[in-house]
Every structure is written in structure tokens, then in C-alpha cells.
Structure 1
Amino acid sequence: MQPPLYQLKAEFFRTLGHPVRIRVLELLQDGPMPVRDLLADIGVEPSNLSQQLSHLRRAGIVVSRREGPTVRYALAGPDVADLMRAARRILAVLLADREGVLQQLRRADAVGEPR
């Protein structure tokens, strides 16, 4: 029996729930990259990057292709880039709201208003 769609979605988002994986997806939005360039941009140990790339590849979010001694990674499709852009827009709104609340608190503190 197939798991419910909401469960599959939760698993998908858990797969994305690691900072290195998110950074890889951000970098790959500009096109395929060799592992050496990902390493240079992300600045983690090779074994850590390899583990995170493997996770993304098993989930079908990225694909890899060997070109001689070089392995290049790419997003599995344009929807992944769309998802990353949507996440950026959502975060921009959420963080803007938080900044607004912080500014209100600072103004209240400046004039001595009770909280």
C-alpha cells in the first residue's frame, strides 16, 4: 500500500532539511557543477558533501554525471529551482514581519512604553 501523499511530502521536506543540502541546491540553480566547485563554495569536508549529495541523489532531487575524472551534479528538474525561489520569497516575507515586530519593540523601549 502506498503511503499517503502528506507522508511523502513530509519525507521530501525532511530530505531538504539540512543546511549543506540547501546550499547545494542553491548553487545548482545556476547550472551543473563539478564536485570540486561545490566543495570550494560550501567549505565542508569532502566526506560530508559526498554524504549530502548522495542523500539528494537517492531522493531524485539531483542527478550526477561522470565526465572523465570529474563528477558533475545538476538539479533533477526546473521545479527544484522553482521551489528554492519560492522558499526565498516566503522567508523574505516572514523575516520582514519579524523585523517589523523588532522595530516596534525598540520604539516602545525608547519611549518607555509597557510591553
Structure 2
Amino acid sequence: MNQHQNIHQFKADFFKALAHPMRIRILEVLSEGDRNVNELQSVLNSEGSAVSQQLSVLRNKNVVSSIKDGTSVIYSLRDPLIKELLAVAKQIFDNHLVDAISLLETIRNEQ
């Protein structure tokens, strides 16, 4: 594999790691600050096994890091730029939403 293929594979794997609603939500919560599993469960209103499973995927893909703190494990974003990536994704979503709304208004006005 050449360097370009490696970079493309890294990007594909990175976006696969993000391709789950709970993982996105976990990253949004971690964008606000480091949390342990219990805190994440509480914020996400989800059971521990589901949260732990998604954290494991994010950790294996090097998207989040974990540090043992006594009996709990603290999770954090591995790279603070992930917060910016999520913000850009939200802007793209918002732009599509604005386009869809204006299209609907145009259709409604034409009727």
C-alpha cells in the first residue's frame, strides 16, 4: 500500500468509527469535557454495556483515550480537533436543513 492509500484507509476507518449515533453523541459529550462511564451513561440515558461497547470502538480506532483513575476510567477526546469536526458537521447539516426548508417554501408558494 502506498502512502496515499494509507491516508485514505485511515480516513475511511476514522469515519467508520464515527458512523454510529451513540458514538457521535459520546464525542459531543466528551467535547464538553472528560467523563467516566457512569457520567456518560447518565448523560446519554443509556445502559452501561451499550456505552462501554461504543467507547471500545472509539478507543480501538484511536478517537478517544482513557486513563484509569482509581476504580473508574476517564475518557477524553484524543484530538481536540474532533470538537471542530463535529461543529463543521453540524453546520453542514444546518445548511442542508435551510436548503430543504427554502425548497419546501418555494413549492408551497407555487401551489
TM-score, length-scaled by structure 1: 0.86
Shift of 1:55: 0.3
Pick aligned residue for 1:12 from 14, 19, 22: 14
- The C-alpha deviation readout for 1:38-69, integer Å capped at 9, x for no partner, is 10111222111111000000111101111112
Contact 2:13 2:61 in 1 (8 A): no
Find the counterpart in structure 1 of residue 59 from structure 2. 57
Q: Which residues of structure 2 form unaligned runs of 5+?
A: none
After superposition, the CA RMSD in angstroms is 1.5
Matching of residues 1-115 of structure 1 within 5 Å: 1=1, 4=5, 5-109=7-111
Identity of aligned residues (%): 38
Find the counterpart in structure 2 of residue 113 from structure 1. none
Q: Which amino acid aligns with 1:57?
A: R
The 2-side partners of 1:6 and 1:106 are apart by 43
Shift of 1:2: 5.2
Classify 1:27/1:100 alpha carbon distance in 2 versus 1 (closer, same or farther; 3 Å).
Answer: same
- The C-alpha deviation readout for 1:56-86, integer Å capped at 9, x for no partner, is 0011110111111221110001111111111
The 1-side partners of 2:110 and 2:38 are apart by 50
The 1-side partners of 2:38 and 2:110 are apart by 50
The 2-side partners of 1:61 and 1:81 are apart by 11
Partner SS state of residue 32, structure 2? coil
Choose 1 or 2 for highest CA Rg. Answer: 1
